[in-house]
Amino acid sequence: MGPIPLCILLPVTVLTVVVAGAAEENTIDDKYTWPQWKVPLVKKRRTVPLSSPNFSAHPQLELNGTCGIECQRRLPTPSLNDLEQFLSYETVYENGTRTYTSVSVQGLNEMTFWSRNTSSRHKREVYGTDTRFTIADKQYSTKYPFSTSVKISTGCSGVLVSPKHVLTAAHCIHDGKEYLDGARKLRVGILKEKSRRGRGRGGRAKGKRRKGDKGKEETLEKGEKGERKGRGKGKKSRSRRSVDSGKPSFKWTRVKQTQIPKGWFKGVSKGLTADFDYAVLELKRAPKVNYMDLGVIPSIKKLPAGRIHFSGFDDDRPGNLVYRFCSVYEESNDLLYQHCDAKPGSSGSGVYIRLKEPGQKKWKRKIIGVFSGHQWVDVNGDGRQQDYNVAVRITPLKYAQICYWVHGDSSECQVA
């Protein structure tokens, strides 16, 4: 018998990985459900015009001097006034104008905070073999959850969190001092399928499902569990796998406005700058694809396998969507250290997990963080730096702010 063609082997291999974890579905304890948080209210206090930005900054492949988890343990807890200043924000509009909005935070005392992580720092592990998956097959890359991932014209990634809002990293738009040159005419790219006769363009709106979609989503969910179960074995054999059925293409949409928290700006939150590396882009037109809701959880490590997932457009695989998952190495109130393999371009990707909806058997993915990227972290505040892959987690306060940006009404954001 002659050799089996590679084009046949690859789909079979991927499908094997996808269905391998089906038997594990019913072994997860029912306690792994999305917690119901009573989040605070973030309300607009005043909006004032600012001068137009210069759009002169250049993007950075890596961030240096970040005050990380260890460094932040030495900092005092921010006061309510501090938090209100950090959560105040700038808005840049499509025509180049800019405003500053101050906010008030209400209901902060009703929140339940988890304590700061006080464990000692562990030695950084070697990343080892590249374990990323290239999702080049449009059967998958243009279907949920991969369809929620978008490409930002400045070179980063992002995730749809509403029909027309994208969550990404702040440093993809602003370097802490000035807006990036590419942010002047910001665009967002959505992966698209080739149009077929008698078939609508793009994907589906939330809540609408074509025949067969449910089965595909369930298959992907089982695949996530199968990959988690088999991560420790066969690592080399599944490295750099892909299914190639034609180069993906993008449908580009202009950004109507961009909102960035002041906590990201230099000199405002000082050692807490890394905690505010997130931004929301409002699109001029809503793409006809699904989006992923935001979620809040107290600890990643208490979840099944303690794993996170995210997809983005890594620079070393141009035009292709790259998916990965990994364990969280260390966490604090606002940051996650992890060793997911990633390259420049994946910054801004939405970090998600999958838990059961309360009182239901249905599992649902939600965004619980933003991948900030590879950073050189100031470990103890003494200038000594260590490299980590860092993600900014969605806290109740950040949930309230992002939800307010998306809905424009705090009453829509009471329960996470």
Full pLDDT tens readout for the chain, 416 residues: 444 443 434 443 343 333 333 333 433 455 788 988 888 999 999 999 999 999 999 988 888 888 999 889 889 999 999 999 999 999 999 999 999 999 999 988 655 454 444 444 443 333 467 888 998 887 788 899 999 999 999 999 999 999 999 999 999 999 999 999 999 999 999 998 754 443 433 333 444 444 444 444 443 444 455 434 433 333 333 344 444 445 668 999 999 999 999 999 999 998 999 999 999 999 999 998 999 999 999 888 777 678 899 999 999 998 899 999 998 988 999 999 988 888 899 999 999 999 998 888 889 999 999 999 988 888 777 778 888 899 999 999 999 999 999 999 888 887 76
Q: d(Cα 231, Cα 291) in Å, to the nearest integer?
A: 27
- Kindly give the residue spans of alpha helices, DSSP state H, lying in 90-178: 138-141
Q: Give the helix/strand (H/E) hosting 386.
A: strand 385-393
Distance of CA 231 to the CA centre of its chain: 22
Neighbours of 267 (CB within 10 A): 8
pTM of the model: 0.81
Contacts of 29 (CB under 8 A, 6+ apart): none
- Kindly give the residue spans of alpha helices, DSSP state H, lying in 111-194: 138-141
* Predicted local confidence at residue 248, as pLDDT: 66
- CATH homologous superfamily for the domain 6-14+26-114+130-195+212-413: Trypsin-like serine proteases (2.40.10.10)
Structural domain boundaries in the chain = 6-14+26-114+130-195+212-413
Residue tagged 């948080």 (tokens) = 37
Q: d(Cα 219, Cα 1) in Å, to the nearest integer?
A: 32
Which of 132, 122, 397, 385 lies closest to 278, judged by CA? Answer: 397
Q: d(Cα 115, Cα 80) in Å, to the nearest integer?
A: 17
Q: Give the helix/strand (H/E) hosting 225.
A: helix 213-229
